[in-house]
Amino acid sequence: MGRRTIFDILPPKLPRLLSVGRLDLHSEGLLLLTNNGEVSRFFELPRNKIERSYHVNLIGSLSSKDLSIMEKGVSIKGVNYGPINSKVIKKIKNKFTLELTLNEGKNRDCLLYTSP
């Protein structure tokens, strides 16, 4: 796509590195790098239940029912998403910051949820 990646700015003398997971274009956070494919795969496999926590900002309404539904897991367009533990970090009027913790890393997990 022509966008620069983390690999474009790493020193060229480093060994071949793999990222553990990914960050989407409009996301920010810690990106782990390794030269060991087994380590990378271990952290990515859902069966290893590695918890991932995200802070997500949203605007709109949010009820305890919405949070309860996420905590049970949801199915969207035939794709099942496991439980997402949530905690409201900050609330100002209709703006929220949530801390979401999950064990699987499907692309844009948290962004796919919409209240039924």
Q: Report the catalytic residues.
A: 24
The single-letter DSSP state of residue 41 is H
**Cβ partners under 8 Å of residue 50, min gap 6:** 42, 43, 103
Rg (CA), the chain: 17
DSSP-derived 3-state class of residue 56: strand
